[in-house]
């Protein structure tokens, strides 16, 4: 049985619950493994994670307008003043394809932007503690031939750790941002079906749409991501001369798949790269591999 036969057979055995392992290689020397649990099919809801590069510049314009948005959208028990808060904005998602092969439909982004309002900002997706900031407004902007969702967030100057948070963002320590969200269907770009079952594989020609985005669970300040080009700025409109840097063609970044060790020797022709990391799941040995394109 070759790899594709094994993959088809495995998909056919899936019932109500699916566990998806998405493995992203950031550079040859350091591997970061992201494990995402997909909710039961009976619920029709999928939890997903998307991350991106993050840079920071000080927001020192339109402060009064931002304060109005905070007080009207968040409705804090004690209304805030411009002197009370620090504000930054993140370019968090776009209509480009991420390193997992997922893509937001351009026409869906205005509605998705509204879902960011009043969502918490965490550090490293750590839900064991309280949020460090809160998103109070989001909009769509054109940037680098992409449509982006730009989400504004704030925190109080007098809060514990406020100065350290500001320093870590503005100095580039918290260099990237991430969003955790729920959606209902990974729609295959090739056939329009559910890419988990249709038989198509993510490649340079095949991706999937995030359909039915229902909720933004939280955004986070993180260390490594899959979406290039995200930044923090003080501008409400983006000018065409703003430089951008994209790393989408970096061979050190890619999606790796868990393949049973017993099948590696039967499929040498489709393997592009094998990393020296092994996982043991249910008494079976797996290796991380990347398929040829």
Q: pLDDT, tens digit, for every residue of 180-210?
A: 999 999 999 999 999 999 999 999 999 999 9
| 133 and 260 part of one domain | no
| C-beta separation of 231 from 146 below 8 A | no
In a domain, 234, yes or no: no
| 166 and 112 part of one domain | yes
What is the structure's pLDDT at 135? 97
| 1 and 71 part of one domain | no
- CA 125, distance to chain mean position in Å, is 11
| 10 and 51 part of one domain | no
Domain endpoint, select from 222, 240, 271: 222
| 146 and 18 part of one domain | no
| 121 and 205 part of one domain | yes
Continuous segment of H or E residues that includes residue 168:
helix 162-170
Cut 0.75: pTM above it: no
| 23 and 108 part of one domain | no
| C-beta separation of 10 from 34 below 8 A | no
What is the structure's pLDDT at 47? 80
| 105 and 197 part of one domain | yes
| 190 and 105 part of one domain | yes
Q: How many Å apart are CA 13 and CA 285, to the nearest integer?
A: 19
Q: What is the CA radius of gyration of the chain?
A: 21
| 27 and 69 part of one domain | no
Continuous segment of H or E residues that includes residue 50:
strand 46-53
Domain count, the chain: 2
In a domain, 232, yes or no: no
What is the structure's pLDDT at 45? 79
| 96 and 59 part of one domain | yes
The residue range of the domain holding 90 is: 45-222
Q: How far apart are the first and last CA of the chain?
A: 21
Continuous segment of H or E residues that includes residue 86:
strand 85-94
In a domain, 66, yes or no: yes
In a domain, 235, yes or no: no
The stretches in the chain having pLDDT less than 50 are 3, 6-7, 10, 13-43, 226, 231-256, 265-272, 281-282, 291-293
What is the structure's pLDDT at 124? 78
Strand order in the sheet with 254-260: 30-38, 18-27, 254-260, 284-291, 271-281
Q: What is the pLDDT of residues 27-53, one digit of tens each?
A: 333 333 233 333 333 346 788 777 665
In a domain, 127, yes or no: yes
| 33 and 57 part of one domain | no
Domain endpoint, select from 222, 242, 276: 222
């Amino acid at each position: 049985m070759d790899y594709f036969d094994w993959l088809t057979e495995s998909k056919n055995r899936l019932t109500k619950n699916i566990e998806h392992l998405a493995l992203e290689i950031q550079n040859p020397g350091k591997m970061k493994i992201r494990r995402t649990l997909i909710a039961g099919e009976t619920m029709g809801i999928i939890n997903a994670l998307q991350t991106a590069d993050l840079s920071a510049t000080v927001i020192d314009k339109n402060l009064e307008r931002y304060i109005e948005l905070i007080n009207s959208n968040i409705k804090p028990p004690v209304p805030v003043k411009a002197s009370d808060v620090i504000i930054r904005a993140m370019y968090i998602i776009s209509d480009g394809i991420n390193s997992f092969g997922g893509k937001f439909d351009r026409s869906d982004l205005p509605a998705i932007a509204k879902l960011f309002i009043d969502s918490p900002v965490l550090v490293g997706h750590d839900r064991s503690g309280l949020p460090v900031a809160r998103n109070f407004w989001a909009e769509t902007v054109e940037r680098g031939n992409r449509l982006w969702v730009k989400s504004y967030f704030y925190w109080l100057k007098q809060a514990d750790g406020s100065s350290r948070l500001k320093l870590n963002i503005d100095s580039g320590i918290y260099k990237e941002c991430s969003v955790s969200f729920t959606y209902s269907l990974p729609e295959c770009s090739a056939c329009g079906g559910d890419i988990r079952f249709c038989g198509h594989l993510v490649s340079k020609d095949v991706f999937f749409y995030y359909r039915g985005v229902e909720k933004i669970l939280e955004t986070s300040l993180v260390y490594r991501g899959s979406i290039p080009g995200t930044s923090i700025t003080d501008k409400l409109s983006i000018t065409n001369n703003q430089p951008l840097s994209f790393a989408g063609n970096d061979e050190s970044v890619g999606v790796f798949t868990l393949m049973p060790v017993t099948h590696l020797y039967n499929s040498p022709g489709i393997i592009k790269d094998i990393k020296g990391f092994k996982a043991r799941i249910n008494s079976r040995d797996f290796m991380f591999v990347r398929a040829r394109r």
